[in-house]
Amino acid sequence: MSEQPLRRYGTVMGICILAGMAGGVVAGVVAGTSDEASLGGAALIAAAVALAMAAGLWACFRWWKGLDEAAQEAHKWAWWWGSTVGLAFASVILMTLRYGVGDLGEAPVKDTLMLGTVLVAGCQTVGYGIAWAAWWLKRR
């Protein structure tokens, strides 16, 4: 691996860490935490999460560069079609649960947002898996 991509990945990781620290401070201020110890703790936790995310991003870049062109195309196609269809299903399910069935209509907004997040991520992942398998089965 040449020096240039490593420098670019390092820059991306540094930006992620700084964004995480800023996000932690903003979250502390928004939550009403005014003492410096709490703000520092929130920034430290956010920086640790950002560092973990940056390390994951770096690992993903390394993994992606190691794939051959066919595998890259399979993943891109599966993400485009599978996750889009999964998002559509998740939207219909969430709207049905929120406005059609009743119980969720009385739930707090926070619970509905969390359910929506899990539902969308799950449906997109399942759609991606099905589309990825279909792509490879069609080309075998």
User: What's the pLDDT tens digit per position in 55-91?
Assistant: 787 788 888 888 899 888 999 999 999 999 999 999 8
- Separation between Cα atoms, residue 138 and residue 140, nearest integer Å: 6
Which is nearest to 131 in space by CA: 65, 64, 123? 123
The H-or-E segment that residue 83 falls in is helix 69-95
Mean pLDDT for the chain? 78
Give the 3-state DSSP-derived string for 9-77, with helices as H, strands as E and coil as C.
HHHHHHHHHHHHHHHHHHHHHHCCCCCHHHHHHHHHHHHHHHHHHHHHHHHHHHHHHHCCHHHHHHHHH
